[in-house]
Amino acid sequence: MTSTLRMGLAGTGHWADVAHASAIGDSGSWHLASVWGRDAGRARALADRHGVDHAGDDFDAFLAQVDAVTFALPPMVQSELALRAMEAGKHVAMEKPIALDAAAARRVVETAERTGVAGITMFTTLYDPRIRAIVADVEAGRRWTGGAGLWLGSALGDENPFNTPWRAVHGGLWDVGPHAISILLKTIGGIRSVHGVRGDADLVHLVLGHDDGRTSTTTLTLNAPDAADGFATLLWGEHGKVEVPVDDVDFRAAFALAYDELAGLIASGSREHPCSLRFGAEVVEVLALAEASLESA
């Protein structure tokens, strides 16, 4: 069956190419109809690699070609363009974090609710079936007392394709932090307080206070040595301990599932989703608390 929903890709970088564009091709619900970028030449080159006719740097012309937009842009650019897309009636798949401050994240949620469009946040790990099974157990009543995350990224290495200006400025807190926080929210519960301590470069350690007195910790950086690069999350409680498999997620499969679930929201009219824009904004609020704690230390 031919896909009938038209997806537009906003962004032309490495992740736009290997994750977003490739996963749209894997999805059974969409075809990639247009690519937008601030550099028209790069947009055209990415479109050519994926067999797409329409590409350019005119955002309004781009929106006219699509039913939904998936964003692979710096968060501060994404949050503003997502407002324009939703005002034009386009559904959205937003990268994490959906914004770099709580007020901007709230504007995204308010605009989605007012315009009635469907929206999801691309928390890659939360589309992995193994991690979804752990979350489902929590929703069915399994209680974890605490957890610990260790997110040692090396994105700021000289040859790393993720070494981009916004990551150099905002570091691991805002890049791998959304992954860490989203998992702890889903498995331990709402976060009410954050205490942060800085280490070398962008290294931060967070102590998180959850509902009912539960606690967790997480360590975040994009400056880890290549030999130490990797992610881990451990949950513990009366049932024992469990390792959340965060380090070997198939990102293309996760993104393809996300796009298919977005299509399902559009078809059903539902706007409820475990990775909704509202959940994306909740994660931003926790990160903003962390940043405020680090600045006041």
The residues spanned by each domain of the chain are 5-125+251-276, 129-248
Q: Is the pLDDT of residue 210 over 80?
A: yes
Query: Does the structure show a pLDDT above 70 at 1?
Result: no
Name the fold adopted by 5-125+251-276: Rossmann fold (3.40.50)
Give the pLDDT band of residue 297 (cuts 50, 70, 90).
Answer: confident
Q: What is the pLDDT of residue 4?
A: 83
How far is it, in rounded angstroms, from Cα 254 to Cα 245?
13
User: For residues 71 and 62, what is the distance between their CA atoms, to the nearest angstrom?
Assistant: 13
Mean pLDDT, range 149-166, rounded to an integer: 95
Q: Does residue 97 have a cis peptide bond before it, meaning omega lies within 30 degrees of 0?
A: yes
| Rounded distance between C-alpha atoms, residue 256 and residue 287, angstroms | 27
pLDDT value at 116 more than 70? yes
Burial of 226 (0-12, 13-18, 19+ CB in 10 A): exposed
* pLDDT tens column, 13-60: 999 999 999 999 999 999 999 999 999 999 999 999 999 999 999 999
pLDDT of residue 2: 47
Q: Which residue has the tokens 């451990």?
A: 234
pLDDT in tens, 244-253: 999 999 999 9
Task: Select 129-248's CATH number: 3.30.360.10, 3.65.10.10, 2.40.50.140, 3.40.50.1100.
Answer: 3.30.360.10
Bridge partners (DSSP) of residue 230 are 152
Please, which pLDDT band fits residue 3 given cuts at 50, 70 and 90?
Answer: low
The reported pLDDT for the residue numbered 158 is 87
Section 95-122 average pLDDT: 98
- Average pLDDT along the chain: 97
